[in-house]
Amino acid sequence: MPAVLVAGLMPFHGALPNVVGNLGSLLETFLPWLGLAAPVLLCVALLRRSAVAAVSSVLPAAVWAVLFGGLLLPDGQSREAAYDLTALQHNVGEENPDHAGTARALAGVGADLIALEELTSDALPVYEAVLTPGHPHRVAAGTVGLWSRHPIVDFRSVDIRPADITADWRRGLRATVRTPSGDIAVYVAHLPSVRVRWPDGFSTGRRDESAAALGAALAAEERETVVLLGDFNGTLDDRGLAPVTSRMTPAKEGFGFSWPAAFPLARIDHVMTRGATPVTTWTLPATGSDHLPVAARIKL
């Protein structure tokens, strides 16, 4: 029965294998939207005038409410909780027509850390001009960058390049930031994009390989306190990101859908921590990018 299948897939999505077309990861990318099957099934039941089908359509609705209903409720307590720093993450978009406006919007948040992805050489001077007055410490590696209110005392690139990419491809960095609460390791990463293609299905190979490399770097990190910021091209439910998500605590509150900006369908931009506690997170209004900025307050 379709209602039972939908109700079972929501909590047990890991049982759907990735053998054919990475269907498991595709389902996990849009998992909360599976709840829309409930009203569709109800409409079908009413058209068929089937009382049994109508009653059974309540099952996926009930499962969805248990799994995701709490995300609809405001968490006023977390907004008032004490925190030590605010981190802001944004894929600014290579084709962004208004980098200056985007930079001003980011500067106005008052974040301590600002991580950017798809930072082109043409756009970099624009962000430097706007962000540097409030965030005088800046490092960049390829197309990712980090601005900080607090001193950056060391920095290096993090190699998360998939094996089949031989060009100059740098999308990861690691910096030590000296905060008033002590030194912390800050990572910025942009994992490869995913696509739905025929006949391969949901193409995640490069993204998953990059996630494994990032997970290995995090496992080798010696500092106790770590903040990870980036566009991961995957949701927290996606098993392909397990090498990262299994080692970090994500900032999550509400659905937090961050992509695409025009009609957000998935949370693929994240702030995560280790040895620190995310106390609240939120998305900002759209900029010229196809992603929404994501901010989080963190207790060190």
Separation CA 73–CA 229 (nearest Å): 25
Residue 76's φ and ψ, nearest 5 degrees, are -65, -30
Whether cis (ω within 30° of 0) applies to the bond prior to 192 is: no
For 10, residues 6+ apart whose C-beta sits below 8 A from its C-beta are 31, 34, 35, 60, 63, 64, 67
CATH no. for 76-299: 3.60.10.10
Q: Pinpoint the residues of the chain covered by CATH 3.60.10.10.
A: 76-299
Separation CA 24–CA 14 (nearest Å): 7
Q: Over its length of 300 residues, how does the chain's per-residue pLDDT go in tens digits? A: 788 898 899 999 999 998 888 999 999 999 999 999 888 887 887 888 777 777 788 899 999 999 998 888 776 656 668 999 999 999 999 999 999 999 999 999 999 999 999 999 999 999 999 999 999 999 999 999 999 999 999 999 999 999 999 888 999 999 999 999 999 999 999 999 998 877 778 999 999 999 999 999 999 999 999 999 999 999 999 999 999 999 999 999 999 999 999 999 999 999 999 999 999 999 999 999 999 999 999 999
